[in-house]
Structure 1
């Protein structure tokens, strides 16, 4: 899991890493539920951030950033739940959670500068 300096590439990599970790048959209802939700929200972070660049107004840009922030926070909480419940590989979950927390800090900094 490399950390590109381009944030859009980094968000795409995060979503792809989530898919790689969770694109396998789930063993339980809970692991399936949280895996599917994590795949959706991680993709949403990247897709909304890509819309940020093309947003017409500053208000639209801030809105897209806030949606991305909301979705990455959801990813982070999902990963925390999965870690506490032991639903997947601890090392993989920890790496993904670390990246989610770094992305949260970056998005908060971008929003605060606007």
Structure 2
């Protein structure tokens, strides 16, 4: 599971990078794409930090950080989509992947909390 999620979050980050690169460059678009890029590349880093956690509390904290970044990613995807910044690529697949990753992170957090 850990290796699969490591691979999946890395691929997710790469898809976010490619998506942001496809947004036409204007002052407003650059700001929005930067926000999406920052949020969308962070969950994988949080997950990898969680794998090195020294305690249950630290693991849950790192995973919660990743979960927050996934929620923020979903927000920025909705904003960028609503502003019609995507030229050829529509974000439906990546929004679905974001929601799936959110569900996985929530499940792992709840498992570690003992729920």
Give the distance between the partners of 1:30 and 1:110, measured in 2 at CA: 36
Q: Residue 61 of structure 1: which of 50, 59, 62 is its match? A: 59
Q: Residue 17 of structure 1: which of 15, 18, 22 is its match? A: 15
Task: Tell whether the 8 Å contact from 1:79 to 1:93 is kept in structure 2 after alignment.
Answer: yes
The worse-fitting range, judged by mean Cα deviation, of 53-62 and 31-40 is 31-40
Task: Tell whether the 8 Å contact from 1:45 to 1:72 is kept in structure 2 after alignment.
Answer: yes
2:106 matched to which residue of 1? 108
Structure 2 residue runs without a partner (length 5+): none
User: How far off is 1:23 after superposition?
Assistant: 2.4
Give the distance between the partners of 1:108 and 1:68, measured in 2 at CA: 10
User: How far off is 1:25 after superposition?
Assistant: 6.8
**Count of residues paired in the alignment:** 110
Task: Tell whether the 8 Å contact from 2:23 to 2:29 is kept in structure 1 after alignment.
Answer: no
What is the aligned-residue RMSD (CA, Å)?
1.8
TM-score (normalised: structure 1)? 0.87
Structure 1 residue runs without a partner (length 5+): none
Give SS of 2:91's match. helix
TM-score (normalised: structure 2)? 0.86
Give the distance between the partners of 2:67 and 2:88, measured in 1 at CA: 24
Give SS of 1:92's match. coil
